[in-house]
Structure 1
Amino acid sequence: MAADQTTGIAIIGCGYVADSYRQCLSLHADTLRLAGAFDRDPQRLAAYTATWGGRAYASLDEVLADGSCAILLNLTDPESHAAVTQAAIAAGKHVYSEKPLAMTATEAATLRDAARNAGVRLASAPCNLLGESMQTAWAAIRAGTIGKVLLAYAEIDDGMIHRAGYDSWVSRSGKPWPGRGEFETGCTYEHAGYALTVFAALFGPARRVTSFAALLVPDKGTTPPLAHPAPDFSVGCIEYDNGVVVRLTNSIVAPYDHRMRIIGETGTIEIKEPWDYASPVILRRPGQGRIARFIERRLGGGLGKRLPMARRVPFKGGRGKPTMDFLRGPAELAAAIREDRPSRLDEDFAVHVTELTEMLQHPERFDRPALVQSRFAPIEPMDWAR
């Protein structure tokens, strides 16, 4: 694709995650072009552009008036997502928002409707669904490798973050990890989407959610103390239209465990790390007979076979580099706009994930079990994973 055919994007919010997005730009040099960046903190903006180069916008209004920017990447803090996205929609910009799309399903649906009325597109992170590991697992399920899917488990336990010395976690441009914001937004809002998007693609719309959430460690040792600490544990059972049942756990209390297991009639597919596009996809068969059962019990799941990836991961993560391509979501949105087709992470999909996330973190707002209101069209696998 010629340079003048690339899609212009602008970054709003130069916080911790913005470095991960910028670091992935070279993977999309033929399709995406960075028009510039803006942050309401002038020092933060200066540090970001000093590290990465590029234009520093003087204001959000300047970004919204820039005709070279077609897609706004909303990387602001979660509580600001809705307001910034609404302003971008009103200015005729397409938006790719970091998760969550909004803090409530009602807000998310309002943004969806506004985008449609304005004739612009809206999509939301996370985009790990589009990664090689998840696409490989999905292809195996479509091929009937484990038979009919019955059940799925996902653990998104991050360990006791407040005891992990997170004050030393600094992004490449010098932004400290936003511990206070994470503790007040909540680990479910921050992390559940990494599982919910995958399950939505695999199983379609959810029908009912039965959930429980709790604040187990109110004092996270912050100075000053947290004004509004969010639940640091949630667990939910999600029933899907096709009969599959999912159990999803989120916490920043239990030891680190990101396993995802998809259980079918003839086997189980396991992914160790949904935040890693290169995470191995393991096929396990159920133990049959005494020896097989003994091995299964002793080895925590039995012997497994590593499935070949749908394609080689086109980048190397680790050692300070992201293990997932954060810009694959914006690139998918840009491609959908160019090709005049639905995005795989479109506004209906984003609203659905937001609704489920709210049900998991705030079960007190809903009936029990809670009936899911939002729907979305079936998601298509990536062309290289069909």
Structure 2
Amino acid sequence: MRIAIVGCGYVADMYRYCLDLHRDGLVLTGVYDRDPDRLAAFARTWGDHAYASLADLLAEPGLGIVLNLTDPENHAAVTRAAIAAGIHVYCEKPLGLTLQEAQSLGEAAQAAGLRLAAAPSNVLGEQAQTLWRAVRTGTVGRVRLIYAELDDGMVHKADYRRWISRSGRRWPAEGEFETGCTFEHAGYVLTLLVAMFGPVRRVTAHSALLIPDKECDVPVHPAPDFSCGLLEFDGGILARVTNSIVAPYDHRLRVIGDGGVLSVDEPWDFAGPVRLKRTATGRLDRFLERRFPGRRGKVMPAARRVPFRGGRGRPTMDFMRGVREFADAIREGRPGRMDADLAVHITEVTEMLQHPDRFPVPAPVTSTVAAMRPMDWAQ
């Protein structure tokens, strides 16, 4: 499948690094960015063809997928342009900044007979698939509750000005603060929860801007830096999802069932372990649980070994895996695991978390999504 990248910012280097993992299925025709310096640096770093304009990129013969890696506020415009040119689109998260925007993009793609999908694709990773398999096989019995933390530390106090991508792009602090940590991060958990438990039915949420002054070099208008929501799924399953860039770093995800707890420490790490801790029932077990709350449990057998090595400057997620799954689904003429309905659903739930003032309390979720299939190697 021939693909082209639009947007050569910070995250584009992570996608580009992972392209080598999919040379047997994806061919990059070239890249484009409206900033000529950024485009030149990226093309020089990776040795890619640089298109002179978006129109030139969209006119590329045989181009199958536009990989939209622009800033969130430009996602819709670039996606619409690609759809108008008759090209499928895989978009970096979020698909849109409102439910209405995401729905309109999905409707435009459907009317044109095209496919549309959006990141994040960590749900396709080895850790997520191992966790999902444990849930499907009843490892902890009936699931009752999920606790999901996406606290990223007090980012505006971090030395983020020194966070530089391989092609020399600085981490886009101002844009991240203005988009909001909920729109930036919630999808990593929401996509996995929807895969495991089906669509979210109702949301009760609260958000706040706790630190308006983000100490940036230029004025910014930051979005809420904290959100907490209760998500209701079919079967009485309840998830509490917290996002912040205020509280200390904590990315734990815990799935609590009648027979124990399945947990991961970092959903951004495909190689991260999934741990099982059985429910404490006897007096000794309950004493040990109170006395040693940090006991982590046993590591579950992984669905498969991660076929790449992350860390030490390399991504711990295969950012291109979602693109590859999208391309394979198009080529094989089958439904994709990650499609427009999923992207719209995640956008709606995320908007409810970040902007609860726009919705009733509790808010019924109007969008829905079909059941996702596990990866073949994780059946």
| TM-score bin (small chain) | over 0.9
**In structure 2, what is the Cα distance between the partners aligned to 1:350 and 1:300?**
37
1:368 and 1:30, CA in 2 relative to 1: closer, same or farther beyond 3 A? same
Aligned counterpart, 2:179 = 185
Aligned counterpart, 1:136 = 130
Aligned counterpart, 2:353 = 360
1:303 and 1:216, CA in 2 relative to 1: closer, same or farther beyond 3 A? closer
| Cα drift, residue 80 of structure 1 | 0.5
- 8 Å CA contact 1:95, 1:123 repeated in 2: yes
| Cα drift, residue 291 of structure 1 | 2.0
Residue 271 of structure 1, aligned match among 254, 264, 282: 264
- 8 Å CA contact 2:31, 2:48 repeated in 1: yes
Aligned counterpart, 1:239 = 232
Taking the TM superposition and a 5 Å limit, the aligned residue runs for 1:66-105 are: 66-105=60-99
Query: How many residues get paired?
Result: 379
| Cα drift, residue 301 of structure 1 | 5.5
| Cα drift, residue 302 of structure 1 | 3.8
One-letter code of the match for 2:334? R
**In structure 2, what is the Cα distance between the partners aligned to 1:46 and 1:58?**
10
Give 5+ residue unaligned stretches, structure 1: 1-6
**In structure 2, what is the Cα distance between the partners aligned to 1:126 and 1:224?**
29
- 8 Å CA contact 2:133, 2:378 repeated in 1: yes
Taking the TM superposition and a 5 Å limit, the aligned residue runs for 1:1-386 are: 7-226=1-220, 228-300=221-293, 302-386=295-379
Identity %: 63
| Cα drift, residue 54 of structure 1 | 1.4
| Cα drift, residue 292 of structure 1 | 1.1
- 8 Å CA contact 1:35, 1:68 repeated in 2: no
Per-residue CA shift, 1:86-115, capped at 9, x if unaligned?
A: 111111110000000000011101000100
Deviant stretches of 4+, over 4 Å? none
Q: Secondary structure of 1:56's match?
A: coil
1:86 and 1:303, CA in 2 relative to 1: closer, same or farther beyond 3 A? closer
- 8 Å CA contact 2:8, 2:31 repeated in 1: yes
**In structure 1, what is the Cα distance between the partners aligned to 2:214 and 2:372?**
39
- 8 Å CA contact 2:275, 2:296 repeated in 1: no
Per-residue CA shift, 1:311-343, capped at 9, x if unaligned?
A: 000000000000000000000000100111111
| Cα drift, residue 134 of structure 1 | 0.5
What TM-score, normalized to structure 2? 0.99
**In structure 1, what is the Cα distance between the partners aligned to 2:49 and 2:351?**
36
Q: Secondary structure of 1:57's match?
A: coil
Q: Secondary structure of 1:24's match?
A: helix
One-letter code of the match for 2:44? A
Q: Which moved more, 1:209-218 or 1:290-299?
A: 290-299
One-letter code of the match for 1:166? Y
| Cα drift, residue 385 of structure 1 | 0.1
- 8 Å CA contact 2:10, 2:170 repeated in 1: yes
Q: Secondary structure of 1:95's match?
A: strand
**In structure 1, what is the Cα distance between the partners aligned to 2:217 and 2:161?**
12
| Cα drift, residue 242 of structure 1 | 2.8
Q: Secondary structure of 1:192's match?
A: helix
Per-residue CA shift, 1:205-245, capped at 9, x if unaligned?
A: 1110000000000001012231x210000000000123210
**In structure 2, what is the Cα distance between the partners aligned to 1:188 and 1:280?**
25
- 8 Å CA contact 1:278, 1:313 repeated in 2: yes
**In structure 2, what is the Cα distance between the partners aligned to 1:301 and 1:122?**
42
**In structure 2, what is the Cα distance between the partners aligned to 1:317 and 1:303?**
23
Per-residue CA shift, 1:226-268, capped at 9, x if unaligned?
A: 1x21000000000012321000000000000000000111111
- 8 Å CA contact 1:292, 1:302 repeated in 2: no
Q: Secondary structure of 1:325's match?
A: coil
**In structure 2, what is the Cα distance between the partners aligned to 1:260 and 1:54?**
38
